[in-house]
Structure 1
Amino acid sequence: MAPDDARQDAVLLMDLLREATAGRGRIAMVTGAVATGKSELLHDFADRALDQGALPLSATGSRAERDLPFGVLSQLAQNAPTAEHRAATLELLREGARPPAPGAQSFEPVNARLVDALCAVLRELSERRPLVIAVDDVHHADHASQLCLSYLARRVKYARILLVLSAPDHGAHPQDVLRTEVQRQPHCRQVRLAHLSAEGVAARVRERAGGQAAGFFATRCHELSGGNRLLVDAALEDLGATGEPGERYAEAVLACLQRADPGLLPMARALAVMGEPGAAGRLLGQGEAAAARAVRAMTGAGLLAGGRFRHQVAASAVLAGLDGGELAALHRQAAELTYLESAPAAVVAGHLLRTGHAGDPWALSVLEEAAKQALRDDGVEPAIEYLTLAWQECHDERRRARIATTLVRAKWRIDPGTPIGHLAELTELTEALRHGHLGGGDAIVLARALLWHGHAAEARDVLSRLGDREELDREAVVELEAARAWLRSSWPAFLPHLPEPMPEQASAVARSLGGDRRLESADALASTLREGPQEELVTAAERILRGSRLDEMSMDTVECALLTLIYSDRADRAVSWCDAFVAEAADRHAPSRQARLSAIRAEIALRRGDLAAAARDAQRALELISPESWGVAIGAPLGILLIAGAAMGRHPDYLTQAALPVPEAMLETRFAAQYLYGKGRFALMSGQPRRALRDLRMCGELTEAWGLDVPEFVPWRLDAAEALIRLGEAEEARGLIEAQLAGCGKRSKRVHGMALRLLAAAGEVRHRVMLLRRAADLLQAGGDRYEHARALVDLTEAYHAIGEHRRAGMLGGRAGALARECHADSLLRSPSRGAAAVTSSARHHGRVGHGRSADGTRNGTPEAAATLSEAEHRVAALAAEGYSNREISGKLFITVSTVEQHLTRIYRKLDVSRRRDLPAGLSGRA
């Protein structure tokens, strides 16, 4: 009800008062739902009537006084203006309250005489002064008072009396007879109050808390209350304190139920449990008509919208009065009802969870089905709750073991650390295996979980209990082959402990799993790590990724396929796939998968030379799940983080990560190679070559022992060579570099370029420029911007060393821009002459007077460079890197004259006058 509506109701009552004052008695029947302002209207009107010279007599019905004879009339009598009238009235009331003597006539005729006498007193009062008799909540008035009010209503038409009564307009109350009698009188007027409109709520909020609060809370208050004034005020108090409905709102909900009809509480509780009116009625065993009446009453009170509570706080409030046993019993009834009505498994399982009991024969099947559906729909948390209850309540050992294994898999999707913490069941599962209650496939899954956390001895024990190979079923053989493929690339040292299936079993499974993505992806990664990149494996990895989603069993498949691309020097092709799967993992609320994919994305960024992105993604991988949850795999994100942090020149920021403890069992896994390589690079870049050499040599020993010694994985020989160069052992360094070149040939431009850069550092000064130019070309083509920047820095220094300072200066600007692009501050702060030239050149090209932007490119260059033809672009790129016209001629197989003609057009298009002003960014298209 809006403020205008309230004013109209008050005006109507004042009009009726004027008519009564003129001798035309009137009745006003004020109705409305609970908290529509009935009491407020009566109280305000009584005050205004007094100001107009009328005598207000007020009373309020009460449920507690319903059996007190003449209780409401007694309240009216207390307001009589003279002691004479007050005493006479009270004496009549005392007489009427006496029980009849034994053998006397019934009580009713005595009441009738008393009622006549009481009404005579009231009429006599009205002759002296207009009388307003206001009774609030008349539905709670005692029977005798109702008889008197009904009698009076029929006799006030020509008296100076205004009778104002209020009652709710819903529910079945004893006042219905009184209301019918009163409303049929021709001098009765109906005043129906409604809840506040949205504008009315806003006005009420503004009145109580100010205009700013109305802007913040008015809409929300209307949603929570439906305009019910009591709920509006309570919601406003809670929203102002905490921003959410809370304790005050819950109290108001209960108050509304009590004031409307206490009989509504059972239906309210049933509705809170079932969530739907029809089902709530069936839970209580009520018919549709009774349930509909209760819902209408609660809707009219503003508690419901669309048959449901307006907020969960309201539903919780009506259930709060039940003790734990009563609430569990209610949910148990609900579980049985929903099961019998074939409700979805998740609905039935939800009630079973709140019951904490699943002892009925059908309950375990419902919980397992609900968990299966939840896992399929990425609802991992509820699936874990269903499985936990099922596991606790199951007494069949074989079934209990199967449920426990499914629970391990579900928890693994959230956090790999959880299953081991959860596997207080480990002993139980081992016992189940010993007694033949745990399937071979489940045992292998359990062994993999143990291996992830470095519990190799326990994993061996589990596998040793698989029994005779002939007893392995098809599922177990499939899991064995999947585990074998995973171990080849991740834990090669454990392979000998894996049981071998019988030849006929393996052959049958191999035929049936010929196109199995999980095995194909794991085999592709293992082959890449053992034999190096192969085009057919790259093709297979991309095909696998195209057909994969992050469902329950595919994370290993996706991970192996992405790593196959990365270790095949195809990081650029892995980017979009990885980003898509990261987004999918976030949508599926799977932190464990997000973490593993973030680590992969960090490795992609590192191999593309984006150091900041590599550090950010590796750090996120370590934050999404704890280091403990990473288990032995922590070596991957940790190694990447150390490399990126050191390359950015931020060694102090990553000292904590460098000292982070890792599982001892990690040294038996592929992740140890990544960790040791990262730790060695970190030590090398922080000026500790001997420490770096120890870590790098250990990395090499492990990869050689496992047969994973391919340079595209970890080119440890090159970094060990760099450490030896810094220690003055150039000859030994050359041996490692040449061994690396012999191992990879020219198949990896990135590794080949890195090797040539170090070969230049270990060789004579006069050969360095040639080697470094080749290194820079290869690294640019290989897509690693950081390694390319390192080669350019060394080439700048090499030019200085042979006295070609002009070329050094020209190249220094490009090297500086590329180093900043990679966030490789370590290159810019290097104390060497070359790095100093890089920094100096970058400062020179950053001056506004030279028409350059801060990144060393001429203002407007990207747009101007787009006008160059392909041939002009190739010439410009080589010229920007310091190549002479004759050298460009030789590289591009064109004449020197043609080079000169190209440069003339290039200078004009780019608005530069000399070679050194050519922008560094030109090489991106060359």
Structure 2
Amino acid sequence: MTSLRSSDQQPSAPRQLLGRDEERQTLDELIDAVREGLSGALVLAGEAGIGKTRLLEYALEAADDLRTVKVVGMEAEARLGFAALHRLLLPFLGGLDQLPAPQQDALRSAFGLVAGPPADRFLTALATLTLLSDAARPRPLLCLVDDAQWLDRESMEVLAFVGRRLHADGIGLLLGVRDGTDGRTGFAVLDGLPALRLKGLPEPDARRLLASTSTGPFATPAFTRIVAETQGNPLALIELAGELMAGPLPSAPLPIGPRLEAHFLRQVRAMPQETQALLLVAALAPSDDPAVLWRAAAQLGLSAHAMDPAMTDGILARGRHPAFRHPLIRSAIHAGAQPAERRQVHRALAAATDQDAAPDRRAWHLAEAALGLDEEIAAELERASERAKSRGGYAAQANFLARAAELTPNPRSRAERYFTAAQAHLVIGDVPMARAVLQQAVPGLGTPVTRASAQRLHATIEWFQGRAQKAPSILMAAAAEVLPFDERLARDMVFEALAAATMMRQHMVGMTLDELARTVLALPWNHALPALPPDTVVDAYSTRIAGGYAPAVPKLRAAVESMSTGELVETGMPIALLGYVAAEELWDDRGLRAVVERLSAASRAQGALHALHATLNTLAATELWAGRFKGAEACFDEADEISRALGMPPQGTAHRVELLAWQGRDAETRAGADIAAHVWDEQLGYATMANHAHYALTILELASGRYPEALAWALLGYDNDVPGQGSRLLPDLVEAATRAGNLAAASAAIARLSERATLSGTPWALGVLARSRALLTDGDEAETLYEEAVKHLGNTRVVTELARTHLLYGEWLRRRKLRTHARAQLRTAHDMFTTMDAHAFAERARLELMATGEHARKRTGPGQSDHALTPQERQVAGHAAAGSTNAEIATRLFITASTVEYHLNKVFRKLSITSRRQLATLLRDEDQPR
């Protein structure tokens, strides 16, 4: 059922609703906010009959001056991808042409309006958000969804995404969700949305409700019994009062939902047989196409007049089209019918459904009508699954294929259909179902490609279920098996195995990282096959691990070039997980920035949030090293926003420990490092997180001059020698070791650094090498080396390293009693650290300046110049300052243009400016560390 209402009238008083004062206040506040141009979402959750539908009706009445649209979920449509979303958006599809082209394409594809590649779920969600925002411009909009537990998964995910992104669009979203529905797994997608869990009415309100609906007074004992048995459930109070008084008291209270369903079913079974049959057709027929109901009824020889007794007795609401008085009645009729009765009705509905207009719905009716094996229907379901996949409806694809497999006579075909269904289940994140269906598929898979693909799926399932340590060995075995038959597939599996292995490292099961790298290099690759960026990354990374730094350098350069200019394709894992390491290993800051920005742009253009999530963490690192800490924070904040959009918990401090260390936030750095070590490393097996935490602690200790502690952490990284990070920490180890008096450690580190930096030859590499040599040099040669380091690093974007070089140079000059020259270097370092908010390093520089006789302003803490902007305000401000339009910013941040405008207005007020030009100047001045 879909309805749309729009009115210019002022709000009218809604009809009386007994009790629910707090709930009504919450709804009134949300509706008032929508009237003011703000937005909000709310989930009304509770058992059957608890009052969700009545509260949605209250909201509809209270919002009679707004545009409203309402849909009701249907169990019969729960397997049809995007079916509910299509009904919700149908009144607004006239505005589809006004959306950005990628969003248009996604929504058209999702609804089957055009042929094309599968609709990306997040672009579809963003298109929905934009379409609703456009619809709300002339008048605020309230969207209501009742019985949301019966929405198809794709529609549920889109609405959850929309609910999380609403802010300043004049849109309200209310969803009524029933608790305790067996077989449904989609509720988790609503986690994080504001929720109101409904309970039974308090006794005074229950008494008033009972008195208002009963024909006679109840004695106090009888009333007490009714309230106790119904637990204050409003629908149960109304419907069951008479039954509870007439019958014996049950030995134990029954759940309200089943009791109400049984009550409604008794009412239905009191109807004439023809009426009962017609009600079953209405329960299984689509609510948005009454013609199908009547055609199916005619197929079964049922008269439309058979509806009259149901309307007379209140089973159906009076209106132009049959509609059940309460959604629970539909569920009761559906659940109470005999299997043979349901099959008969589904067969009639299939015959009544237009093959061209609704082929998927017809296919599902045929499947529900089938008994035993039937290849013809199975093939029809497989075709429906392909249509669902082409629209991005992977939950529908999985359901169609699993049912097709059940009907398939041929064992090989049945296994292949189960396998494809398992893949679709994994795409939507339903890991338990993916595992169960894969287990049904594996025994019948007969070709090397399908067997290897099943192993690949098995590895991914292990990863998702917290056993990622097993994934690399599973993937490598599968790649070896499939290599003679499908090398492209084998290469993708190897990339995934290596990506997993680098994160797990010593926690891997079945092989070591070194063994994996050597195996990769020994595989009989066909070198005539064009190498894609993931292939060059795998080659470079494996050579670096198994062969050492020197032979890897040309391959690392090739990987950076390929990532910068080659065709960007994704395997099962985002290439950003490994793609940036080659540039980091070479100290190639320009190559690194080019790679990361290209990956970010590609991810945004495709709406690939998982890939963008991985890329943003790397982009944050490049912002950090450039001394733009606010930019790094914005990247981390956006990654956290995407985590929430994906239904995952935000990454938190464990992923941003290096930034926290640079900001001198001691307690937070140590807390994040502790989480990285004990949760991510020890519990989940992500060794790379502990390595990152060790590096961050090295920086933290260096900033405060605690050199022995810094050395201890740096030596852990030196021993692990993680590609990228293992090279980058060498100058830190040299500084910590020389200041701690451990010349043996310093000599070992400088030897490794000299080899790698010389082979790399980039300004960043040569700059940190010159600085490190200066630390180990006595006499005037040190000054020459420091000047060389400043010159090299001045030609890079790695401002943090340049500032540290000025600091070390100034410290050396002060010890040589060259106070005037020392002040110049230390003042430069202090100003750079202060500007970038590197609080501990700034304090170290300030104390050194004081020792030269000059006083510098002491900072009281990090974050002095962020003007109390929220994370999203900082993101919006940064993009606006860079010249992006509101529409471009909205697309990049997965919000609406109205929300962008709202945030920009707040930014202008907070910063006391009036134009984007002023904003650009202000942010540019703040982000210049030198």
When normalised by structure 2's length, the TM-score is 0.51
Q: Report the AA paired with residue 540 of structure 1.
A: S
Q: Report the AA paired with residue 717 of structure 1.
A: L
Give distance in 2, aligned partners of 1:524 and 1:200: 68
Q: Please name the residue that 2:593 is paired with.
A: 572
Q: Please name the residue that 1:275 is paired with.
A: 288
CA RMSD of aligned residues (A): 6.3
Q: Please name the residue that 2:848 is paired with.
A: 834
Give distance in 2, aligned partners of 1:499 and 1:658: 32
Equivalent runs, 1:111-190 vs 2, <5 Å: none
Alignment CA distance shift 1:288-1:837 (3 Å): farther
Gaps in structure 2 of 5+ consecutive residues = 18-23, 36-61, 72-143, 148-171, 178-232, 240-263, 503-511, 867-923
CA deviation digits over 1:273-303, x for unaligned, max 9?
Answer: 25223333323237999989999x99xxx99
Equivalent runs, 1:54-453 vs 2, <5 Å: 198=7, 202=11, 217-220=63-66, 266=279, 269=282, 273=286, 275-285=288-298, 316=327, 319-326=330-337, 329=342, 332-333=346-347, 336-337=350-351, 341-342=355-356, 346-347=360-361, 360-362=374-376, 364-365=378-379, 368-386=382-400, 398-399=412-413, 401-403=415-417, 405-406=419-420, 409-410=423-424, 413=427, 419=431, 423=435, 439-447=451-459, 450=462
Q: Please name the residue that 1:721 is paired with.
A: 734
Equivalent runs, 1:755-904 vs 2, <5 Å: 755-764=769-778, 767-830=781-844, 833-834=847-848, 843=857
Give distance in 1, aligned partners of 2:468 and 2:859: 57
Q: Report the AA paired with residue 375 of structure 2.
A: P
User: 2:673 touches 2:693 (CA, 8 Å); kept in 1?
Assistant: no
Q: Please name the residue that 2:553 is paired with.
A: 532
Give distance in 1, aligned partners of 2:366 and 2:624: 49
Q: Report the AA paired with residue 643 of structure 1.
A: E
C-alpha deviation, 1:744, in angstroms: 1.8
Alignment CA distance shift 1:385-1:669 (3 Å): farther
Q: Report the AA paired with residue 608 of structure 1.
A: A
Give distance in 2, aligned partners of 1:481 and 1:726: 46
CA deviation digits over 1:534-590, x for unaligned, max 9?
Answer: 554433212335x54x6xx464446554554555432321343243245357x45x5
C-alpha deviation, 1:715, in angstroms: 2.4
Q: Report the AA paired with residue 794 of structure 2.
A: Q
Alignment CA distance shift 1:522-1:821 (3 Å): farther
Q: Report the AA paired with residue 604 of structure 1.
A: T
C-alpha deviation, 1:742, in angstroms: 2.7
Q: Report the AA paired with residue 330 of structure 2.
A: L
Gaps in structure 1 of 5+ consecutive residues = 1-194, 226-234, 847-852, 856-919
Equivalent runs, 1:899-910 vs 2, <5 Å: none
Secondary structure of the corresponding residue to residue 285 of structure 1: helix
C-alpha deviation, 1:317, in angstroms: 6.0
Alignment CA distance shift 1:356-1:728 (3 Å): farther
Q: Please name the residue that 2:564 is paired with.
A: 542
Give distance in 1, aligned partners of 2:393 and 2:280: 31
Q: Please name the residue that 1:650 is paired with.
A: 665
Q: Please name the residue that 1:742 is paired with.
A: 755
Give distance in 2, aligned partners of 1:794 and 1:486: 42
CA deviation digits over 1:739-769, x for unaligned, max 9?
Answer: 3023221623223323333333444475554
Match of 1:514 among 530, 534, 537: 530
Alignment CA distance shift 1:593-1:408 (3 Å): farther
CA deviation digits over 1:57-114, x for unaligned, max 9?
Answer: xxxxxxxxxxxxxxxxxxxxxxxxxxxxxxxxxxxxxxxxxxxxxxxxxxxxxxxxxx
Give distance in 2, aligned partners of 1:320 and 1:581: 45
Alignment CA distance shift 1:474-1:304 (3 Å): farther
User: 2:10 touches 2:64 (CA, 8 Å); kept in 1?
Assistant: yes
Match of 2:501 among 476, 491, 505: 491
Secondary structure of the corresponding residue to residue 273 of structure 1: coil
Alignment CA distance shift 1:413-1:574 (3 Å): farther
CA deviation digits over 1:182-234, x for unaligned, max 9?
Answer: xxxxxxxxxxxxx9994678556599999998976123587669xxxxxxxxx
Q: Report the AA paired with residue 797 of structure 2.
A: G
Q: Please name the residue that 2:746 is paired with.
A: 733
Give distance in 1, aligned partners of 2:5 and 2:622: 60
User: 2:616 touches 2:636 (CA, 8 Å); kept in 1?
Assistant: yes
Secondary structure of the corresponding residue to residue 659 of structure 1: helix
User: 2:468 touches 2:685 (CA, 8 Å); kept in 1?
Assistant: no
Q: Report the AA paired with residue 751 of structure 1.
A: A
User: 2:445 touches 2:451 (CA, 8 Å); kept in 1?
Assistant: yes
Q: Please name the residue that 1:134 is paired with.
A: none
User: 1:447 touches 1:463 (CA, 8 Å); kept in 2?
Assistant: no
Q: Report the AA paired with residue 217 of structure 1.
A: A
User: 1:270 touches 1:283 (CA, 8 Å); kept in 2?
Assistant: no
Give distance in 2, aligned partners of 1:555 and 1:218: 48
Secondary structure of the corresponding residue to residue 843 of structure 1: coil
C-alpha deviation, 1:377, in angstroms: 4.3
Alignment CA distance shift 1:196-1:496 (3 Å): closer
Aligned length: 617
C-alpha deviation, 1:326, in angstroms: 3.5
User: 2:574 touches 2:611 (CA, 8 Å); kept in 1?
Assistant: no
Q: Please name the residue that 2:604 is paired with.
A: 583
Q: What percentage of residue pairs aligned between the two structures are identical?
A: 15
User: 1:491 touches 1:669 (CA, 8 Å); kept in 2?
Assistant: no
Indicate whether 1:482 and 2:482 are aligned.
no
Alignment CA distance shift 1:282-1:348 (3 Å): same
User: 2:389 touches 2:397 (CA, 8 Å); kept in 1?
Assistant: yes
Give distance in 2, aligned partners of 1:367 and 1:682: 59
Secondary structure of the corresponding residue to residue 614 of structure 2: helix
Indicate whether 1:599 and 2:599 are aligned.
no
More relative contact order, 1 or 2 (CA 8 Å, 6+ apart): 2
Alignment CA distance shift 1:428-1:514 (3 Å): same
Give distance in 2, aligned partners of 1:788 and 1:304: 77
Give distance in 2, aligned partners of 1:681 and 1:305: 71
Give distance in 1, aligned partners of 2:394 and 2:653: 27
Q: Report the AA paired with residue 784 of structure 1.
A: V
User: 2:773 touches 2:785 (CA, 8 Å); kept in 1?
Assistant: yes
C-alpha deviation, 1:315, in angstroms: 8.7
Larger deviation, residues 615-624 vs 315-324: 615-624
Give distance in 2, aligned partners of 1:731 and 1:561: 34
C-alpha deviation, 1:464, in angstroms: 6.1
Secondary structure of the corresponding residue to residue 720 of structure 1: helix
Q: Report the AA paired with residue 791 of structure 1.
A: T
Alignment CA distance shift 1:479-1:777 (3 Å): same
Alignment CA distance shift 1:409-1:690 (3 Å): farther
Give distance in 1, aligned partners of 2:635 and 2:69: 42
User: 2:300 touches 2:348 (CA, 8 Å); kept in 1?
Assistant: no
Give distance in 2, aligned partners of 1:272 and 1:642: 55
Q: Please name the residue that 2:921 is paired with.
A: none
Give distance in 1, aligned partners of 2:583 and 2:530: 22
Give distance in 2, aligned partners of 1:446 and 1:813: 58
